[in-house]
Structure 1
C-alpha cells in the first residue's frame, strides 16, 4: 500500500528538482542533464502513458512525450514546443505543496491541491494541481500531471 509519507516525499523531491533546474540555467549542459534525470526519476515516460498538462500552455496543451515535458521545463533552442519559455528556468527559490486530499491505493495514489512557487523577489504564484502516481519498483512515478492557474471570474 502506498503511504501518505511516500507521496509527500515524492512531492518534496519534485519541488527540489524544479528549484535545482532553475539554479542550473547558466550552465545549459548541466541543466539539460539534470532535467533529463529528473524526468526519468519522477515521471513514468519509460513505462507507459503519462498524462502531462502543464500550466502555461495554450497551443500544445497536452504533452504525452518526455521530449515535450523537457521542452516545457527548460525550453531552449531545441524545444519541442515553440510556445515554451522554460517554466523551471524562472528560477524558483521555493516550491510548496498544499494538498487538499490524497487518495491512496495499493499501487496508485492521487494528490490534488495547490502548489506555490516563490520567485527570487518573494512573489508567490499559486497554481492548482493534480498528480497521479503509480508504484514502480518501490518508487512513485508520476503518470498524471495536470496544473492550471486558479479560475479568475
Structure 2
C-alpha cells in the first residue's frame, strides 16, 4: 500500500510559486522593452545631449589626422571610428564636411553613408551629407558639425 504525500504546511502552494514567477517574468520583459528605446522620453531633446543619451558627444582633439581625402567618395562619405566618432562627407567634388557619427536620437553610431544620406541602423534616422540635418526621424536634432581642414590631401580636425 502506498502512503499519501506529506505536505509541508510552511511551504507555499505550487500555484503561488508559478504565479509569482510569471509575474516576475512579465515585469522583467516590460522593463527590457522600455530600456531598448533609450529609457527617456525620446520625443524631446535632452539639453545635456542627444535625445535619451546623457552628456555631450566627444569629438577628436584639434590636430587629429583622420585620413586622406581620396578615401571619401564624391556624393558619399566615410565613417571614422576608433574613438574619432566622425563621419566625413563629400557631397560635391572637393567640398568636405564633417559631423559627429553618433546619432542624436539615442546615441547609436551611424553605420552607413548611402545615396546622399548618413544612416543610423538603430531606429532608421537619416541625416543629410550636406549639413547633417535630419532627413528622416525619429531624430529631431541634426548631427553636430565637426570642424576640419583638408590641407595637402589629408583630413585633419581643426
Give the TM-score normalised by the residue count of structure 2: 0.25
Q: Which has the larger radius of gyration?
A: 2
Name the structure, 1 or 2, with higher relative contact order (CA <8 Å, separation 6+): 1
The structure with more strand, counted as a fraction of residues: 1
